[in-house]
Amino acid sequence: MKNYIKDFRSTNKISQAELATLTGVTRQTINAIENNKYDPSLKLAFDLANILHTSVDELFVNNVEE
Amino acid sequence: MSDSKKIVRFTFWMNKIWQIGFVLFSILMINNMRQIAMVTILVSVLASLFEMVYVSRKYHVQVFNQKDELYFAKDERDRDISLKVHSALINTFLLLVIALWLLLSILWGMNSLSMAVLFYVLNGWVACAFIIPDIQYYILWHKYDQQ
């Protein structure tokens, strides 16, 4: 699943570590999601979208849809 | 490196120390080398105590009195990795039990199963049951957690 977390992070000027703290996961997990190595749970996806002031469907794109 | 990965790495090597100590203790006791065996078991017990104290102090992990088996998992990705690794380990333990059952059946069938042989077989099996899944745990964790 492709995502735009890195882009939204830089728009909101939030580091991986800050985003990790705000969502209650480790920085390694944020890094894994950004690099498409791990698909987050629905709850984490919504948390990420809320913190980055966007919606889940703008943040994540299923590869099949592209 | 995540804390979970550090815990897996640290406990792997500490486990090796006390597990090898336990195996050595058993071998030494069978061969009537009781004094060295006592030193070995003491080292093993101290190593396992150090492991528990170090992990709980450095990583704030409670090894005892925990309700959660995945106590070292810091978040959902760690839990995901743990579940994959634990699933693989269940298969390993099943294979180990089947191997023991087959070995004992073969020895019994060949009329070679004395108390001494049974003791050696069980010791070897316990050593394998300690060490093989631990190595598998270490390898799989590093395979799934490449961050």
CATH number of A40's domain: 1.10.260.40
Q: What pLDDT does A5 receive?
A: 93
Q: What is the pLDDT of residues B18-75, one digit of tens each?
A: 888 888 888 888 888 889 999 999 999 998 889 888 888 888 777 665 666 677 777 8
In a domain, A61, yes or no: no
Distance from CA of A14 to the nearest CA of B (A): 20
Report whether A40 contacts A48 (CB < 8 A).
Answer: yes
In a domain, A65, yes or no: no
Give the CB-side neighbour count of residue B64, counting CA atoms within 13 A: 6
In a domain, A44, yes or no: yes
Q: What are phi and psi of A61, to 5 degrees?
A: -130, 125
Residues with Cβ < 8 Å from B91, sequence gap 6 or more?
none
In a domain, A27, yes or no: yes
Q: What pLDDT does B108 receive?
A: 87
The distance between the two most distant Cα atoms of chain A, rounded to a whole number of Å, is: 31
What average pLDDT does chain B have? 86
In a domain, A10, yes or no: yes
**Which residues span the domain enclosing A4?**
1-56
Residue B51: C-alpha distances to residues A16, B7, B58, B67 (Å) = 31, 10, 11, 20
Q: What is the pLDDT of residues A32-48, one digit of tens each?
A: 999 988 999 999 999 99
In a domain, A49, yes or no: yes
In a domain, A63, yes or no: no
In a domain, A64, yes or no: no
Q: What pLDDT does A43 receive?
A: 94
The better pLDDT of the pair A64, B71 is held by: B71
Work out how many CB contacts closer than 8 A connect A with B.
Answer: 33
**Interface check A50 vs B, CB under 8 A:** no
CA–CA separation, A25 vs A44, rounded Å? 9
Distance from CA of B76 to the nearest CA of A (A): 7
Residue of A nearest to B144 (CA): A37
Total number of domains constituting chain A: 1
Band (pLDDT 50/70/90 cuts) for residue A20 is very high
